[in-house]
Structure 1
Amino acid sequence: MAQPIVALADVRLTLPSRAGPVEILRGVDLVIDPGEAIGLVGPSGSGKTTLLMVLAGLEAPSSGTVAVAGQGLDGLGEDALATFRRDNVGIVFQAFHLIPTMTALENVAVPLEFKGERNAFEIAAAQLKRVRLGHRLDHYPGQLSGGEQQRVAIARALATGARLLLADEPTGNLDLETGAQIVDLLFGVQREENATLVLVTHDPVLAERCSRVVHMADGRIVRDRAVVAKAPAEVPA
């Protein structure tokens, strides 16, 4: 049996506040196998995005164990966590988080250059062509539409061969038609790469496109269910 790509055991996160300690995550147990697509749903404040940040090594839990891609994250320093993210995790944010002074090509090449990839710009160009932006390589984020910026973000997330793709409301800043195109693209490339996808969403229809839907409430997983298999998504032409 393949090793899980994600294994969380009794993960808890408590943060201080003026009113006293606030429990954000309250004993989360979660195992995700390679190639799964997980829809992470729940009301605002349920801990979905925080859990995503824990998986990315961007937020350290107060207790419990976190293993991603066979790597235990407990006790790792910032440099080690940065290397872990570079090699294993791709993140797609709602707000794109592109570097405004860099072209689309340069934005996608950045993580490759950090990895020491000699052909960073060739690989970046290939990834942008894959998401149908081969004609936008030299454009800056401010010259791109919201959907195009999100395509750049997806290309950047996939460029280093990430085994785990984390998406936090990736269509939240897009209109319905553009959002649907981004979703089709995201699921299509996830399936092509056999990557594991964890998708935070408030959209129940979008969550149902995943292989599992994990429901969170009040910092806990309250339901975890499989979704009936559907026909594979295609990368849009």
Structure 2
Amino acid sequence: MTTPQSPVLALRDVHLTLSSRAGEVHILHGVNLAVGPGEAVGIVGPSGSGKTSLLMVMSGLEPATSGTVTLAGESLSGKSEEELARIRRETVGIVFQSFHLIPTLTAIENVAIPMEFRGLSDATARATEALKRVGLSHRLDHYPGQLSGGEQQRVAIARALAAGAKVLLADEPTGNLDQDTGNAIIDLLFDLKTREGATLLLVTHDRSLAARCGRIIEVRDGKVSEGA
């Protein structure tokens, strides 16, 4: 008899309220969600529904106003910024629509720097291997400005996976790419997810893309439901 695996990510009655000039804005309303190890979950919903905010709360980049978020067995509640940063470095890889590469660092330096912050002595070797896995072994010493959009997103994916992230959060990762390049990036994400055994949460406006995931979560007016 097999024992059910604990969720790698769990949200319990999560609310998110932010302040604005017009007053408080209620973004997430009582979100409950559990994601198991190795799952692929597509997150869909209209613009402004709270999809990106949900990812921010999952990663601890935005603290929940109330409720609990547990990531890889650790509760994010009450953690200091230093503790949250440590959990992210050890657990989460994030791929944004805008690549968020440091323009003054080469591809290998962009991938290695998060691991250097963790004190890993083999950061450069890991970065080299990660860039090789995404097909950029010939671009190690190139700066972001010397790379195409698709290549920059590959660097971002390599950075997310190089340190052995258990959870990969992707927020519209093809939004700034043409269709063919975007399709290649998505194929790469799913291939690496399978090979690395990582959990993938993919925010997308494209339901056909979300359908490649094992589950679809729909966010509408700050509430989450299983999509069709």
Q: Could you say whether these structures have the same fold, taking a TM-score greater than 0.5 normalized by the shorter chain as the test?
A: yes
Task: State the shift of 1:20 in Å.
Answer: 2.3
Q: 2:119 aligns with which of 116, 119, 130?
A: 116
The TM-score with structure 1 as length reference comes to 0.93
Which residue in 2 is equivalent to 1:175?
Answer: 178
Are 2:53 and 1:50 aligned?
Answer: yes
Measured in 2, the distance between the counterparts of 1:201 and 1:71 equals: 27
Residue ranges of structure 1 left out of the alignment (5+ in a row): 226-237
Which residue in 2 is equivalent to 1:208?
Answer: 211
For residues 153-187 of structure 1, give each alpha carbon's deviation from its aligned partner in whole angstroms, at most 9, with x where no partner exists: 00000011000000000000000000000000000
Percent pairwise identity: 63
Amino acid at match of 2:67: G
Q: Superposition pairs for residues 65-144 of structure 1, below 5 Å? A: 65-144=68-147
Describe the SS at the equivalent of 1:40. Answer: strand
Which residue in 2 is equivalent to 1:231?
Answer: none
Amino acid at match of 2:191: G
Residue ranges of structure 2 left out of the alignment (5+ in a row): none
Measured in 2, the distance between the counterparts of 1:118 and 1:20 equals: 48
Task: State the shift of 1:224 in Å.
Answer: 4.2
Measured in 2, the distance between the counterparts of 1:182 and 1:90 equals: 15
Q: 1:36 aligns with which of 22, 36, 39?
A: 39
For residues 164-217 of structure 1, give each alpha carbon's deviation from its aligned partner in whole angstroms, at most 9, with x where no partner exists: 000000000000000000000000000111100000000111000000000010
For residues 112-159 of structure 1, give each alpha carbon's deviation from its aligned partner in whole angstroms, at most 9, with x where no partner exists: 111111111111001101100000000000000000000000000001
Amino acid at match of 1:108: V
Amino acid at match of 1:47: G
Describe the SS at the equivalent of 1:21. Answer: strand
Which residue in 2 is equivalent to 1:27?
Answer: 30
Task: State the shift of 1:73 in Å.
Answer: 0.2
* Matched residue count: 225
The TM-score with structure 2 as length reference comes to 0.97
Measured in 2, the distance between the counterparts of 1:111 and 1:14 equals: 30
For residues 62-120 of structure 1, give each alpha carbon's deviation from its aligned partner in whole angstroms, at most 9, with x where no partner exists: 10010010010000000000000000000000000000000000000001111111111
Amino acid at match of 1:17: S
Measured in 1, the distance between the counterparts of 2:130 and 2:23 equals: 47
Describe the SS at the equivalent of 1:22. Answer: strand
Misfit runs of 4+, over 2 Å:
17-20, 222-225
Describe the SS at the equivalent of 2:20. Answer: coil
| The 10-residue stretch of structure 1 (186-195 or 18-27) with the greater mean CA deviation from structure 2 | 18-27
For residues 1-59 of structure 1, give each alpha carbon's deviation from its aligned partner in whole angstroms, at most 9, with x where no partner exists: 11100110110011122322110001100000000000000001111000000111100
Task: State the shift of 1:222 in Å.
Answer: 3.1
